Structure 1
Amino acid sequence: MAYKTQIAAAKQGIITDQMSLVAQKENRTPEWIRDNVAKGTIAIPTNIHHSALSAEGIGDGLKIKINVNLGISGDAKNYDLEMNKVKMAIDMGAESIMDLSNYGKTHEFRKKLIDYSPAMIGTVPMYDALGYLEKDLLKMTADDFLSVLEAHAKEGVDFMTIHAGLNRRAVEGFKRSGRRMNIVSRGGSLLFAWMEMTGNENPFFEHYDKVLEILREHDVTISIGDSLRPGCLDDASDAGQIGELIEIGNLTERAWKADVQVLVEGPGHMAIDEIAANMKLQKRLCHNAPFYVLGPLVTDIAPGYDHITSAIGGAIAASSGANFLCYVTPAEHLRLPDLDDVRNGIIATKIAAHAADIANKLPGARTQDNRMADARHKLDWDAMFDAAIDPEKARRYYESTPPAERHTCSMCGKMCAVRTTNKILDGEKVLFCEENGNCDK
């Protein structure tokens, strides 16, 4: 093999097996996929050690992909539960899973995850550093951070969030901005603390060439983390966020030159009227690299319902240029999500992604919606359930209050508008009294 990474192959005019598979999934030609991988506007995260992977493309002109976060913490250490979340996410069609475990030795869980998962796997090595090395943050060195990154790459992780844009210049801009919420990125806050305590530059920025060398060796996509993403509406679009984004744009070009694929991470919390402009700004500053957003959450006051606030922002973001949505569950800001939270988060994010695919006029995006419309026209309930994004819930709701007549639902009964119109167009009469047999003579 003359190439090490997908982008290197694309630059050489080579169509890899992964590119062909993505083309098939996306109703695109392999040549079109290859050309856009070469330009960096599409990434196919695919570590050479992840043999169970079914490759997916992320980028402009492709269906919006969704990511599911999970992993253990010091207060919730049930690996079996996390693996059940993995299985649920894959069964529900999530294209990506991020293991955000931040407690103890996580290697064994991650190995099982990579061996099992056809979905791409992402991690944040910074989260794992403390448990992996069993060192206090202040005692860590740049080599320590890089060693954890390399360990994840060798295990088969397809993409890694690396907060390389938080350099000394970005930190100074953050300090001047006087934020309401300061830093809400976990990895970003740890790096900020290390930089402030040691007086050193961000090791992932200072040794960026070494980072890229490790990633290229295993074909790991770098997901350049946004340490200064807004954690509340008031901090959106401020100098800290935009200043870091400018640094990320430069790091994006350096990665492409080193034959490493790139994702760029974005906000965060953001008012609805700022989202579209932020997506366009990111595309401009980061050279149309695929954009990965968490939400954005469009209000700060809905704990317990943040899967909804996130889906609203995600649909707007993805129809305005974002390519990859990180799910948010009802448990966001409150606790580690349980299985029901994960399910609700996935469904909400899939709705946002699908709505954006329709708005982006992707090939075949309306096919499932048209199937649903045709089934509703015929009052074919089984076909409706089959076309639903969550068939189990649709069927359960329908059957929870059974209608007297199978062809209607319990809300409208025989006054169903579709039933009425179908009867008239078929030359039949609509006679509620006679059919019910309880009208006054």
Structure 2
Amino acid sequence: MEYTTQMDAAKKGIVTRQMRDVAEREHIGLDQLIDLVARGKVAIPANRNHTNIKGCAVGERMSTKINVNLGISKDASSMDDEIAKYRKAIEMGGDAIMDLSCFGKTKTFRRKLLAECPVPIGTVPMYDAVGFLEKGLSHIEPREFLEVFRAHAEDGVDFMTIHAGLNRRTVERFKANRRLTNIVSRGGSLIFAWMISTGNENPFYEYFDEVLDIAEKYDVTLSLGDAMRPGCIEDASDACQIGELMELGELTLRAWAHNVQVMVEGPGHMPIDQIAANMLLEKRLCHGAPFYVLGPLVTDVAPGYDHITAAIGGAVAAANGADFLCYVTPAEHLRLPDLHDMKEGIVAAKIAAHAGDIAKGIPGAAQWDHRMSEARRNIDWKAMFAEAIDPEKPRAYRESSPPEHEDTCTMCGEMCAMRTMRRALEGEKEF
């Protein structure tokens, strides 16, 4: 029996290669996984033309995934640097890569990534439109945006962000409810500017059925972008954000009817006390579709440390139902991240995702912590480093300050509580 997309296969009861990968990784039965994919609660991004991809699932009952952004820009156009970052991201356990390239040989870079990368690749076609079409933004014809979308799909891109919820209703709502930081989504701001300059409806909304035809043909998962995500805590949970979320909920149902998988993107900057409610609201308005969040960043005053503000928000979001965390680096709001920034961002996002998985009771999550605690009780440094999210950093710390006794560290020395308790319980009398 043939199928068009992972969702179509699930509705027909067909088990795909990617589904088998996911079932093994997530410790879930195939019957339950098929049901979740068929109902849109889980997405498995896997373009038919991305032949070396392994199954990776985002959504209900799945472990929280993290995405790593990279790509070439006008001011930082080294493909070699970005490929090095991609390889390090995979080595560190990144679950997906988003190529946000917006300058130069974007097609060459994208195809190089897809030829090598075993995890889902995402893009934002709007970023590539001006260079791809070789004309100014305001001169692009409506259906030409679909040409860029199709080109990315043909290349093998697994999930694409389109800001289809930014339609004329959303624009009027924005005008009536002005914000402190306006529209901070790069793709959203470009669509807004195009709509204002041309007077046309957003082509990704107006021709959404044609977008779905392309997505179904290649099995592209739509990541419905949040053009109205809050760019500061003052704008969080406002009419613009919630109104667009309602639009995305309607688009989600249209996509599912077309057997196209969907993820819904979310905030953004948000006070910590609003995060749980926002996660529940997205699940309600978007019918349980997987939720993909940027952060959320819980304060606006920490440039240089936004990987920390995002990890705080990401942990709360994941614990309350977010399924996919977009990493944030220390360079957020400041410059394109380098390799070190990327590593810091990945580690922070992985900590947040794992904390959320513990809270959600994801199989195997708490057992990881149990193994680390056993290693600490036994003062087994090799085992501790093996279980660490980032083995390099703790190993380097220990090697930089060697203790007198191997079963201690230079913090407590012979007064180490683990060492003392082990010796006491083993019956030693002299301390």
TM over 0.5: yes
Residue type matched to 1:210 in 2? E
Q: Shift of residue 430 of structure 1?
A: 4.2
Per-residue CA deviation, residues 359-389 of structure 1 (Å, 9 max, x unaligned), is 1011111122111111111111111111111
Aligned to 2:326: 326
Deviates more, 1:39-48 or 1:17-26: 17-26
Q: Shift of residue 105 of structure 1?
A: 2.9
Per-residue CA deviation, residues 13-39 of structure 1 (Å, 9 max, x unaligned), is 112111111000000011111000000
Aligned to 2:202: 202
The answer as to 2:145 corresponding to 1:159 is no
Q: Shift of residue 325 of structure 1?
A: 0.2
Are the aligned partners of 1:184 and 1:227 in contact in 2 as well (CA < 8 Å)? yes
Deviates more, 1:300-309 or 1:104-113: 104-113
Are the aligned partners of 1:423 and 1:430 in contact in 2 as well (CA < 8 Å)? no
Residue type matched to 2:80 in 1? D
Aligned to 1:434: none
The answer as to 2:400 corresponding to 1:400 is yes
Aligned to 2:302: 302
Question: In 1, Cα distance between the equivalents of 2:353 and 2:278?
Answer: 18
Aligned to 2:96: 96
Q: Shift of residue 254 of structure 1?
A: 0.1
Are the aligned partners of 1:10 and 1:34 in contact in 2 as well (CA < 8 Å)? yes
Matches within 5 A, 1:134-283: 134-283=134-283
Question: In 1, Cα distance between the equivalents of 2:188 and 2:358?
Answer: 34
Residue type matched to 2:292 in 1? Y
Q: What runs of 5+ residues in structure 1 fail to find an aligned partner?
A: 432-441
Question: In 2, Cα distance between the equivalents of 1:113 and 1:150?
Answer: 18
Question: In 2, Cα distance between the equivalents of 1:45 and 1:89?
Answer: 18
| CA 430–241 in structure 1, closer or farther in 2 if over 3 Å, else same | farther
Question: In 2, Cα distance between the equivalents of 1:138 and 1:410?
Answer: 63
Residue type matched to 1:121 in 2? I
Per-residue CA deviation, residues 221-261 of structure 1 (Å, 9 max, x unaligned), is 00000000000000000000000000000000000000100
Residue type matched to 1:326 in 2? C
Aligned to 1:312: 312
Per-residue CA deviation, residues 170-189 of structure 1 (Å, 9 max, x unaligned), is 11111111100000000000
Q: Shift of residue 403 of structure 1?
A: 0.2
Question: In 2, Cα distance between the equivalents of 1:195 and 1:387?
Answer: 51
Aligned to 2:413: 413
Are the aligned partners of 2:77 and 2:104 in contact in 1 as well (CA < 8 Å)? no
SS at match of 1:142: coil
Residue type matched to 1:404 in 2? E
Aligned to 1:354: 354
Aligned to 1:340: 340
Aligned to 1:288: 288
Per-residue CA deviation, residues 141-163 of structure 1 (Å, 9 max, x unaligned), is 11110000000000000000000
Per-residue CA deviation, residues 246-305 of structure 1 (Å, 9 max, x unaligned), is 000000000000010000000000000000000000000000000000000000000000
Question: In 2, Cα distance between the equivalents of 1:77 and 1:17?
Answer: 36
Are the aligned partners of 1:420 and 1:430 in contact in 2 as well (CA < 8 Å)? no
Question: In 2, Cα distance between the equivalents of 1:104 and 1:138?
Answer: 20
Are the aligned partners of 2:72 and 2:104 in contact in 1 as well (CA < 8 Å)? no
Are the aligned partners of 1:70 and 1:97 in contact in 2 as well (CA < 8 Å)? yes
SS at match of 1:63: coil
What do you get for the CA RMSD once the two structures are aligned?
A: 0.7
Q: Shift of residue 46 of structure 1?
A: 0.2
Deviates more, 1:7-16 or 1:56-65: 7-16
SS at match of 2:201: coil
Number of residue pairs aligned between Structure 1 and Structure 2: 431
Larger-gyration structure (1/2): 1
Per-residue CA deviation, residues 174-218 of structure 1 (Å, 9 max, x unaligned), is 111110000000000000000001110000000000000001000
Deviates more, 1:198-207 or 1:7-16: 7-16
Question: In 2, Cα distance between the equivalents of 1:65 and 1:91?
Answer: 15
Aligned to 2:70: 70
Are the aligned partners of 2:329 and 2:344 in contact in 1 as well (CA < 8 Å)? yes
